[in-house]
Amino acid sequence: MTDRRGFLKQAAVAGTSVLALSSWLDMLPIRNQKTIPRYLWDHADMFIKDPHQAALSWFSEAGAGLFIHYGLYSLLGRGEWVQLEEKIPVAEYERLKRKFTAHNFDPDFITDVALAAGMKYINLTAKHHDGFCLFKTKQTSYNSLHSPAKRDLVGELKSACDKKGLGLFLYYSIAADWHHPYFSSREAGWGSYRPAYSDTQPAYVYKEEADFQKYLLYARAQLHELVTQYQPAGIWFDPIMGFYARPDLFPMEQIYAEIRSYCPYTLISFKQGATGTEDFAAPERGAGSFSEGVGKLFGDKAGLVATKAWEGNKDKHNETCNTLQSRTWGYKKAEDGKHKNTAEVLDLLQDAKSRKMNLLLNTGPLPDGSLSPEDVKTLREVGRS
């Protein structure tokens, strides 16, 4: 009987149909996974030996991915930090959930655009700083399935990516949550990682540092859901400055170990780095560690943590993220008509490549979930260039 590796090699030589290959791959018992993800088919031999190494090899060749910031903030059209910047009360902001329809969020179209641009993966904000979730979760009703949309946007995008051979990364804001009752307070040294409300917010019940453990249990339970339900190509943590504010409160090594035990090929990133053991770093717009700035903001101890983490990541094949809007990640109506053009994106791609980085290029969908027409035009032109 032909073994798996022999079958794969014979299939390649004999021109075995993709359907037959898919049927065989569907039967491969890789730990608790039943298939080799389609985006890793070119690394099938390596995957059988070491799924994690296969994923790293694929990532180092990917070149570019599409970042998508979409959530309740999109409805307001003033950027993803609108709740904090405008100090919108928690209860008032929460009511946006009643208007969230995602009517034109089209995973099939989104994946087609990413492919047309030559991208190999997509990264979606499963949970941003406002705490609203775009996935199926038992931990909170503050999610897209309990909105008028009644949709698991992560699940739908995962299915479309699987069909077309794209990897799906899931963004998860672990070091800021403006909705969870037990995330730490501004008074406890978290600065901008809670809005500066002048009035007491009944939704916030954090009283002492021990309460933060309740938030961490929530976050770890959600990460278990994300990885076991969707087997993503990666988990992409944010915001790193929130972590540097109190690195002692986040057991990141344990969290990383849990994720890798759930799915061996799921990669992990946390911006410049929290521990230096991430699979890759993903600094915004550049490649710096920001360690000096961290030291000024949070003290020398935090600065040393930042420096050590970046040193652990800087020689890997990394990623840099940037926006098609001028600076904002979530949709900002005031920037309509001012997005980056094809030439600017091609320059970003070349710069990333020269620094041994992938480019993760962000688009902020419109309130209804549709992609910005000017971004679609640019992405298609980039793919043709």
**Residue 1's pLDDT band (cuts 50, 70, 90):** very low
pLDDT at 24: 37
pLDDT (tens digit, 9 = 90+) per residue, 222-262?
999 999 999 999 999 999 999 998 999 999 999 999 999 99
> Helix or strand or coil: residue 56?
helix
Q: Is residue 4 very low, low, confident or very high in pLDDT (cuts 50, 70, 90)?
A: very low
C-alpha dihedral sign at 322, 326, 330, 331: negative
Bridge partners, 113 (sequence order)? none
Collapsing DSSP states into helix, strand and coil, what is residue 239?
coil
pLDDT value for 189: 64
pLDDT of res. 288: 77
**CB 256, CB 268: distance < 8 Å:** yes
The Cα–Cα gap between 337 and 360 comes to: 21
Give the domain 62-384 fold.
TIM Barrel (3.20.20)
Q: What is the pLDDT of residues 350-381, one digit of tens each?
A: 999 999 999 999 999 999 999 999 999 999 99
Q: What would the DSSP string read from start to end of 308-351? A: HHHHHHTTS-EEEEEESSSS-SS-BGGGTT-S--HHHHHHHHHH
What pTM was estimated for this model as a whole? 0.91
Task: Return the pLDDT at 190.
Answer: 60
> At residue 235, what is the residue type?
I
- Interatomic CA distance for residues 8 and 240, integer angstroms: 41
Segment 119-124 mean pLDDT: 99
Instruction: Look at the block and give the residue holding tokens 């109506």.
Output: 333
Q: How many Å apart are CA 164 and CA 120, to the nearest integer?
A: 10
CA distances from 22 to 34, 118, 266 (A): 12, 23, 21
pLDDT in tens, 276-311: 999 999 999 977 778 888 888 888 999 999 999 999
- For residue 230, give the H/E element and its range: helix 212-230
Q: What's the rounded Cα separation, in Å, for the pair 193 and 241?
A: 9
Which of 170, 156, 159, 132 is CA-nearest to residue 263? 170
Report the Cα 57 to chain-centroid distance in Å: 19
Any idea of the CA torsion for 239, 242, 247, 250, to the nearest 10 degrees? -70
**Gap between the Cα atoms of 31 and 15, Å rounded:** 28
Query: Rounded to whole angstroms, how far apart are CA atoms 148 and 107?
Result: 18
Strand boundaries in the chain, DSSP class E: 64-68, 121-127, 167-173, 234-238, 267-269, 318-323, 357-363
What beta strand segments (E) does 184-272 contain?
A: 234-238, 267-269
Long-range contact set of residues 351-356: C-beta below 8 Å, sequence gap at least 24: 352/64, 352/319, 352/320, 353/63, 355/287, 355/318, 355/320, 356/317, 356/318
* Domain residue ranges of the chain, discontinuous segments joined by +: 62-384
The predicted-structure confidence for 24-78, as pLDDT tens digits, reads as follows: 344 444 444 448 999 999 999 999 999 999 999 999 999 999 999 999 999 999 9
pLDDT on residue 131: 98
* Residue 6 pLDDT greater than 90, yes or no: no
Report the chain's C-alpha Rg in angstroms: 21
Average pLDDT over the chain, rounded to an integer: 91
| 160-202 pLDDT tens trace | 999 999 999 999 999 999 999 999 887 766 655 789 999 999 9
